[in-house]
Chain A
Amino acid sequence: MNESIEVTGLRKRFGPVLALDGMTFAVPPGQVTGFVGPNGSGKSTTMRVILGLDAPDEGHALVGGRPYASLTRPLTRLGSLLDAGALQPGRTARNHLLWLARSQGLSARRVDELIGQAGLELAARRRAGGYSLGMRQRLGIAAAMLADPPAVMFDEPVNGMDPEGIVWVRGFLRSLAAEGRAVLVSSHLMSELEDTADHLVIVGRGRVIADTSTAELLAKASGGRVVVRTTAADRAAAVLTGDGGTVAPAGPGALTVSGLPAARVLTVLSGNGVPVSEVAAHRASLEEAYLELTASSVEYRAAGEMAREVAR
């Protein structure tokens, strides 16, 4: 039984705009899959297609091997949060969860249990119109977990959350994956997914640019570079170049060396009596990796614009 989400060759046009252009990827169980791309790159449209809300012009999306719209009690197969603001302002959180529970044949007891787990006790009997954005996000996440589904999908879940909430969401997503669930989480900010996603699906203009594990992407972007911190940058640069390395300045008292492994750099510097405060293998940030990736994608002419967006 395949519990994952599969998206194959989705194409969709809204008037003159090609929103999806052959979007294809899969979300396996047991890991967090980050869905990254700038605003307008087709993430939300893809999620709506997965939920059967939008009909694609071509291609199909499957949840556990079946089209979502054919599922009975679908919230037991895939929980989702697309828009935390999708609440009736006059309805309390408890009643919001209760109607969802009724639609899936679940009891009111499950709702009360969930309210306790999500820390919504104080808000549960207040009308949703007065909720902060963070509280709405929490309620939306609780709603997604209502029927304890094996797969979940969140669109920009930390938008508008305070730092404490963001930390909580990250931990929560990790725990869902640890339980064996398939987790798809979108963001237009790579940094949000840095410590959360095991796997990344990077999209732009309605199609997948890269589909890779986070570790692989970072390794590729690091390119074997070593960072050296020293009070004698000029001397260090000279001896390292003499040993066959390529040296570039990386700020005051810091150099980036490529072509030499870290251990060799340390040997050369100490052998020549150059004072060193730190020698470390460079760890690329996801932003850098992302920029590198999109810059190399020559046919993607808006890459610069997108990179700015991503690095923001």
Chain B
Amino acid sequence: MTAGTTARQWPAPAPAAAEHGGFWRAVLAEWTKFRSVRGLVIGTVVAALAMLLVGLFAAGSARFTCPGGPGFPTKTGAACLPRIPRGPGGQAVTDSFYFVHQPLAANGSITAAVTSLTGVHAAGNGQTGAGPGGAGPLAGMTKGIVGWAKAGIIIKTSTSQGTAYAAMMATGGHGVRMQYDFTQDIAGLAGQVSPSAPRWLRLTRSGDTITGYDSADGSRWARVGTVRLTGLPATVQAGLFVTSPVETQTTSSFGGTTSNGGPSQATGIFGHVSLSGAAPGKAWAGANIGAGRGSPGTGVGGFHQAGGAITVTGSGDIAPVVAGPTSYFPTATIEDHLVGTFAGLIAMAVIAAMFITTEYRRGLIRLTLAATPRRGEVLAAKAVVVGAVTFAAGLAASVIAVVAGPRLSRDMGLYVLPVSLPTGLRVIAGTAALLAVAAVFALALGTVLRRSAVAVTAAIVLLVLPYILGVASVLPAGPAEWLLRVTPAAAFAIQQSVPAYHQVSGPYGPPVYFPLGPWSGFAVLCGWTALALGLATYLLRRRDA
């Protein structure tokens, strides 16, 4: 060191206002600290790898098999993948129904009165009663109509599955609805259809615009909705349809939630059917759309005309595919490949908490605070470093998981539900952000509690435990959903890529479906983190170091 013997003069300290970049210096110092401890760097890599491997292992663990047809060997893996139609919005859809149709020109309308809607469904669902008996697809089924059985009128681009449509319908338990393009649903008249309470339905087409009306008496009509189906061709198919979906029954108790469902079938009777704008001389044609292998229905369908009434029987659904165990083919979601997130989260919580607790243990915090006396800046700099490092590691792991995972799942014979690009990006970046904010939360807990073991335990109890209890089918649905609403684990909702639809019966519970939306769930974690950071800043400023 310098060993001069002549006294020196030091410049006067600059006034505080003249100095800038204090926070940036603190960030650089904290980043230097982080990268210079091998344990923290290796731990971050391990966290990303753990997250990736757990997710990919879960995806690639089971190879599906399916019958190969008469005289053919059993198929496995990708050969079993069903051909699932995609709706106009790109999502996987079910498009199976019995369609009694005629061509319709650019302008026209169709009107019909539904006077009866009855059905049968798999035993054990809903009402019980004597089965129709006999062999074949209806063996062992029970009389009764499922809630989302549909009988109504439809205008559709073509008879191909997945094409754009708009429909007015009476339902088994949800009154009259106007639905279009698989995901959209507007409520009309309430109440059950019966011969004494018929439901009059009308659709009018004017170019791309279709308007739906309903009426209880055929004279006073109410408009239900007007929709635009862009790119509708000049000649479309219009007519009557009946379909009846798989209805999911979910039972919930301690020890978990179980869902099951089976096919159902419905029969609708239509009167006062009229079509304007149809090509002259055409007759009604019947088509069992989407029947056969891969159909969710019984496969039964048909129609007959008698005395001005048309009776139509159909099975299946016109709706988006929802994920979950009751789907009639093995499905996966992109976020299934991110189940390792909790493992990465545990590792990053340990790293983030220890980023400050080891300073307390070694007394290094005094040197840190002597170098940067603005204590809020120290905590903020640590949060920036831990958050950025975790975001980068989480982003790398989730990009690989979401890109490579679905390929692996498809090879195993799982149908991976497609998502739009914005949804995919939200899931990937959201997972990284979830990890980053959770790491900052653990850092704040470490600052408040000052001891590694206590802070890491607190972080895991608040973040990981509610997630595992919420999604692992150990609690009944009520408490599980409550945990996923109020604890920081609510943020896992940001990984949900397939929305729940009220007009589709499904197993809408964890682990696929979260009670809160993606961003509101994430906001719950951010709220907890803001509180923890606030408390940490207050205590760090107030306590002697």
Contacts and interface: CB of A to CB of B under 8 A. Distances in A.
Interface of A: 1, 3, 30, 48, 51-55, 64, 66, 68-77, 80, 82-83, 85-92, 95-96, 98-100, 102-105, 114, 117-118, 142-143, 145, 148-150, 171-172, 175, 178-181
Contacts of B10: 1, 3, 149-150
Interface of B: 1-10, 12-14, 16, 19, 21-22, 25-26, 28-33, 36-39, 358-359, 362-364, 366-374, 544-545
A74 B370 contact: yes
Contact of B363 (A72, A74, A86): A86
A44 B51 CA distance: 46
A98 B28 CA distance: 10
A74 B373 contact: yes
B377 to A, nearest CB: 10
Interface-central residue, B12, B13, B39, B373, by most chain A CB under 10 Å:
B13
A164 B236 CA distance: 99
B19 A88 contact: no
27 contacts: A1-B10, A51-B369, A53-B366, A53-B369, A54-B545, A55-B544, A68-B373, A69-B373, A71-B16, A72-B22, A74-B370, A80-B370, A82-B367, A86-B362, A87-B364, A88-B37, A89-B362, A96-B36, A99-B29, A102-B28, A104-B25, A150-B10, A175-B2, A178-B6, A179-B2, A179-B7, A180-B8
A95 B5 contact: no
A179 to B, nearest CB: 5
Given A91-B36, A95-B32, A100-B29, A53 B5 contact: no
Contacts of A72: 13-14, 16, 19, 22
A91 B359 CA distance: 12
Contacts of B362: 85-89
Contacts, number: 140
B300 to A, nearest CB: 70
B295 to A, nearest CB: 61
Nearest to B541: A55
B25 A103 contact: yes
A273 B367 CA distance: 67
A145 to B, nearest CB: 6
A102 B366 contact: no
A305 B219 CA distance: 110
A18 to B, nearest CB: 15
A64 B13 contact: yes
Given A71-B373, A99-B29, A103-B372, A91 B4 contact: no
A74 B14 CA distance: 11
Q: Can you list the 6 inter-chain pairs with the closest CB atoms, starting with the nearest?
A: A180-B7, A95-B36, A103-B29, A72-B19, A150-B10, A99-B32
Contacts of A75: 370-371
Contacts of A73: 19, 22, 25
B251 to A, nearest CB: 52
Contacts of A66: 13
A86 B2 contact: no
Contacts of B544: 48, 53-55
Given A86-B363, A142-B1, 17 more contacts: A51-B370, A52-B373, A53-B366, A54-B544, A69-B373, A72-B16, A72-B19, A83-B363, A83-B366, A88-B37, A88-B359, A95-B32, A95-B36, A99-B36, A102-B28, A103-B29, A105-B25
B545 A179 contact: no
Nearest to B369: A53
Nearest to B375: A69
Contacts of B7: 30, 178-180
Contacts of A74: 370-371, 373
Contacts of B21: 105
Scoring B5, B21, B26, B32 by chain A CB atoms within 10 A of each residue's CB, the highest score goes to B32
Nearest to B18: A72
Contacts of A104: 25, 371
Contacts of B36: 91-92, 95-96, 98-99
Given A179-B6, A180-B7, A51 B366 contact: yes
Given A74-B370, A102-B32, A180-B7, A88 B364 contact: yes
A87 B38 CA distance: 14
A299 to B, nearest CB: 29
A107 B480 CA distance: 53
Contacts of B38: 90
Best-buried of A1, A88, A92 by chain B (most CB within 10 Å): A88
Contact of A88 (B28, B358, B374): B358
Contacts of B373: 52, 68-71, 74
B273 to A, nearest CB: 80
Nearest to B20: A72
A145 B1 contact: yes
Contacts of A87: 362, 364
Query: Which of B1, B359, B366, B370 is packed against the most chain A CB atoms within 10 Å?
Result: B370
A54 B491 CA distance: 38
Contacts of B364: 86-88
A86 B3 contact: no
Contacts of B28: 102-103
B2 A90 contact: no
A30 B6 CA distance: 10
B26 A103 contact: yes
A54 B30 CA distance: 22
Contact of A70 (B3, B16, B369, B371): B16
Contacts of B31: 102
A71 B371 CA distance: 10
Contacts of A55: 544
A12 to B, nearest CB: 9
Nearest to A74: B373
Contacts of B30: 99
Most-contacted residue by chain A among B22, B30, B31, B33 (CB, 10 A): B33
A175 B370 contact: no
A91 B33 contact: yes
Contacts of B1: 114, 117-118, 142, 145, 172, 175
B9 A100 contact: no
B6 A85 contact: no
B24 to A, nearest CB: 9
Nearest to A71: B13
A223 to B, nearest CB: 35
Contacts of A1: 10, 12
Given A90-B37, A91-B36, A103-B372, A143 B9 contact: no
Contact of A100 (B4, B363, B371): B371
A121 to B, nearest CB: 14
A17 B4 CA distance: 43
Nearest to B367: A86
Contacts of B359: 88
B358 A143 contact: no
A187 to B, nearest CB: 20
Contacts of A92: 36
Nearest to B9: A180
Contacts of A82: 366-367
Nearest to A51: B370
A68 B375 CA distance: 13
